[in-house]
Amino acid sequence: MVKSLNNKPYPIRHYVKIMLFISIFALVIDLVISFTSIYIVKQQSTRYLQDTANLYIRQINHDFSYINHYMGWTLANDESVKAMDDPETEYVDFIKSSEQVHKRFNELQKNYGQEYDFFFYMKDQRFFQNYGPMSLSYPEFEDLESQIISLTDSKNVYETFYSNWNPIMVKDTPYIINIVPFHNRYLICLISADNLIRPLRQLNLGEEGYIALVDHAGTAISGPGQGEAVSPETLNSAKSSLFTFSQTRTTVTKEFSNASFKVQLVIQFGLFETIMIAQLLIMLLFVVLTCTLSVVMLYFKRKVLKPIQNFSENLRRIHEDSEHLDFKSSEITELEQVNSQFKLLVEQIKKFKIDLYEQELEKQRIQLDYMKLQINPHFFLNCLTNIYSMAQMQMFREIEYMSLSTSKYFRYIFQSNDNLVPLTDEIEHVRTYLEIQKHRYQDAFSYEIRLGNDMSGLTIPPLILQTFIENTIKYAVSRDRLLQIQLTVGLYEDEERRYMAIEIADTGPGFPADVLEKLTGGKALDQSEGKHIGIMNVLQRLELLYQHRAQLCFRNQKDGGACVTIYLPAPAPLDERGLFANERTAGG
């Protein structure tokens, strides 16, 4: 059963739909994978750049903090600085102290890079000097000196510059400055804005990506758009979402500690641009292939599948005996040839079916007549045997009754040429048969016939009940004990059908095990010695008349005795003309 289900055939359109569904499903999966890959790649790229920027900014913050602390400690505790600020210091000692400070900051430059420039300014002496190699040109040095003097004269120098790094323009060049004041002397650290972010510019930010410093007011200190305000959208575009994968760029902004500016990284795909373009090309190629396949399938459906469906529909109509066959012309040469041959075949099949149907009807009529002829001599011989036995016992009155009953019995048989007879007539016939046998066996058995309500109009094949009653009398009646025979007829109805149940039960020895096994298994009984002819005739007649709608159940009862239950289709309720459904068809 499982194998037949697995090999169940399907129409061509079923497989076409499966192919189309698989293609669309694969396209959706490819789109999801492609968009997810682009999103993940972009997130990884952004995260990689963020981590790199964070690492560098932590280093810069550490450098800023150390340099700020170093300059503060030097101003407050270094003896050379104190000596230089002392008005009573001799010139030679001043020069020596200056050289000592110069050496100190030379060492600091070696540790933190030549990009940092250090300057010392004493306000009272109007002394301004660089300490360590200087990257400024002389005009820039003069401009820086002028700005330092101006800034230190301001009252808010402590609030603005103390322990804080700020942007400053020196001759139109952006720098980052830190001024550490201590009374009237100041140490200044200066670094070019471009030098500060040069390591980050080595990152691959894409063709149009860049890195810049931006102050808290949103003005670019260095990089593209220097001196111009940066849009809020650019500053806030670092948030990630599944809906931002279509953006052409991503902005990452990181702030420095103790600084009035921040670094901005604008990423234009960057390192993963080629991977993302390849993903998009693969996705586009799959979309093109899916669209092409869909067009091919639509063309295939119109030019190939539709004619085949029409051909299949004609086959179905032939199976349903439909007269409306539509042989449309097809653009497929092979199918057009098949249509021509098919038209001829249809005509031949129709003629063959008519001939076969007529032959089958004739065959069934001959079989039914033959079966009745089989039963009639069988019972007739039994009756003659019974009369002969009564004559031997000089039971003349019984012979007289037996002859009359037998005559009545066979008159019923020969007058019943129909395949179905009224149930009441068949019951009366069985009663006559039992009375005949009762005259023979006297008190060896008793019988009871139970009929349900409203049995009128029910029909049954002739001699069906008498066959099983006869077998009961033949194999179960014994002089040793009383045999009880019970015939029960009932009419039942469920959701699916209306049926008649006939039960024939006795208290005899029951069916032999081998016979019962064959009957319940649907196997034929051995008729070579003239046995079981009646039962096999009943089974064959019911099959011919009811076509699998009749059912027989054979069993042995728990308390002993055989039981046969016959289930036959019952006629529908009376129609408006007072006829049953099977009364109009069973007479065939």
Pairing mode, strands 165-170 and 173-182: antiparallel
What's 271's DSSP letter?
G
Question: Could you read off the pLDDT of 508-565 as tens digits, one per residue?
Answer: 998 888 888 888 887 777 665 556 677 888 888 888 888 788 899 999 999 889 999 9
Helix axes 333-392, 423-441, angle to 10 degrees: 30
Q: What is the pLDDT of residue 579?
A: 42
What's the Cα-to-Cα distance from 93 to each of 45, 90, 273, rounded to whole Å? Answer: 58, 5, 63
What's the Cα-to-Cα distance from 574 to each of 53, 451, 493, 501, 577, rounded to whole Å? Answer: 95, 20, 15, 20, 8
pLDDT value at 117 more than 80: yes
Tell me how far apart the alpha carbons of residues 450 and 228 are, in angstroms, rounded to a whole number: 112
Domain ranges of the chain: 12-191, 197-269, 357-569
Beta bridge partners of 484: 446
Q: Which residue is it, tokens 């003239």? A: 530
The residue that leads in pLDDT, 397 or 190, is 190
Q: What is the pLDDT of residue 265?
A: 79
Report the range of poorest mean pLDDT among 56-60, 340-344, 404-408.
340-344
pLDDT value at 218 more than 60: yes
Tell me how far apart the alpha carbons of residues 267 and 327 are, in angstroms, rounded to a whole number: 67
pLDDT value at 583 more than 50: no
Q: What is the pLDDT of residue 229?
A: 55
Of the candidates 188, 185, 190, 187, the residue with the CA atom closest to the CA atom of residue 126: 185
* % the chain with pLDDT above 90: 6
Pairing mode, strands 445-451 and 210-215: unpaired
Q: What is the pLDDT of residue 587?
A: 32
Most confident of 221-225, 395-399, 444-448, 463-467: 444-448
Question: Could you read off the pLDDT of 461-476 as tens digits, one per residue?
Answer: 888 898 899 888 888 8
Question: Could you read off the pLDDT of 126-183 as tens digits, one per residue?
Answer: 888 888 788 888 898 888 888 888 888 877 767 777 778 888 888 888 998 888 888 8
Task: Kindly report the three-state secondary structure assignment for every residue of 148-210.
Answer: HHHHHCCCCHHHHHCCCEEEEEECCEEEEEEEEEECCEEEEEEEEHHHHHCHHHHCCCCCCCE
Structure tokens at 538: 């009943």
Pairing mode, strands 483-493 and 445-451: parallel
| CATH topology classification for 357-569 | Heat Shock Protein 90 (3.30.565)
Question: Could you read off the pLDDT of 533-545 as tens digits, one per residue?
Answer: 778 888 888 888 8
Stretch 228-240: mean pLDDT, rounded? 50
Tell me how far apart the alpha carbons of residues 351 and 365 are, in angstroms, rounded to a whole number: 22
Q: What is the pLDDT of residue 252?
A: 77
**To the nearest whole number, what is the mean pLDDT of the chain?**
77
Most confident of 12-21, 225-234, 405-414, 440-449: 440-449
Q: Is the four-CA dihedral 366, 370, 373, 379 of positive or negative sign?
A: negative
Q: What is the pLDDT of residue 506?
A: 94
Tell me how far apart the alpha carbons of residues 187 and 120 are, in angstroms, rounded to a whole number: 5
Stretch 426-455: mean pLDDT, rounded? 85
Q: What is the pLDDT of residue 85?
A: 82
Structure tokens at 548: 């699998």
Q: What is the pLDDT of residue 567?
A: 92
Tell me how far apart the alpha carbons of residues 418 and 428 are, in angstroms, rounded to a whole number: 17
The residue that leads in pLDDT, 2 or 389, is 389
Sequence letter at residue 103: K
The residue that leads in pLDDT, 182 or 449, is 449
Question: Could you read off the pLDDT of 272-302 as tens digits, one per residue?
Answer: 566 667 777 877 887 888 788 778 877 777 7
DSSP codes joined into one string, 335-397: HHHHHHHHHHHHHHHHHHHHHHHHHHHHHHHHHHHHHHHHHHHHHHHHHHHHHHHHHHTT-HH
Categorize the per-residue pLDDT at 51 as very low, low, confident or very high, splitting at 50, 70 and 90.
confident
Q: What is the pLDDT of residue 111?
A: 84
Q: What is the pLDDT of residue 493?
A: 84
Of the candidates 513, 523, 505, the residue with the CA atom closest to the CA atom of residue 561: 505
Tell me how far apart the alpha carbons of residues 202 and 160 are, in angstroms, rounded to a whole number: 32
| CATH topology classification for 197-269 | Beta-Lactamase (3.30.450)
What's the Cα-to-Cα distance from 118 to each of 22, 109, 144, 452, rounded to whole Å? Answer: 71, 9, 12, 124
Q: What is the pLDDT of residue 560?
A: 87
Phi-psi map region of 242: left, alpha, beta (phi>0 left; psi -120 to 50 alpha) = alpha
Q: What is the pLDDT of residue 576?
A: 47
Categorize the per-residue pLDDT at 450 as very low, low, confident or very high, splitting at 50, 70 and 90.
very high
- For residue 169, the tally of other CB atoms under 10 A from its CB is 14
Structure tokens at 460: 């049954």
What's the Cα-to-Cα distance from 160 to each of 152, 169, 172, rounded to whole Å? Answer: 11, 16, 21
pLDDT value at 584 more than 60: no
Question: Could you read off the pLDDT of 241-264 as tens digits, one per residue?
Answer: 444 445 566 777 878 888 888 888
Question: Could you read off the pLDDT of 393-407 as tens digits, one per residue?
Answer: 887 887 887 788 778
Whether the CB-CB separation of 101 and 80 falls below 8 Å is answered with yes
Of the candidates 141, 149, 257, 153, the residue with the CA atom closest to the CA atom of residue 190: 141
Q: Is 100 helix (H, G, I), strand (E, B) or coil?
A: helix
Residue 440, class by beta-carbon neighbours within 10 Å (0-12 exposed, 13-18 middle, 19+ buried)? Answer: buried
HSE at residue 45, side-chain half, CA atoms within 13 A, is 28
What's the Cα-to-Cα distance from 471 to each of 466, 483, 562, 564, rounded to whole Å? Answer: 9, 13, 10, 11
Stretch 186-203: mean pLDDT, rounded? 84
Q: What is the pLDDT of residue 10?
A: 64
Report the range of poorest mean pLDDT among 1-10, 138-147, 575-584.
575-584
Categorize the per-residue pLDDT at 13 as very low, low, confident or very high, splitting at 50, 70 and 90.
low
pLDDT value at 4 more than 50: no
Q: What is the pLDDT of residue 235?
A: 47
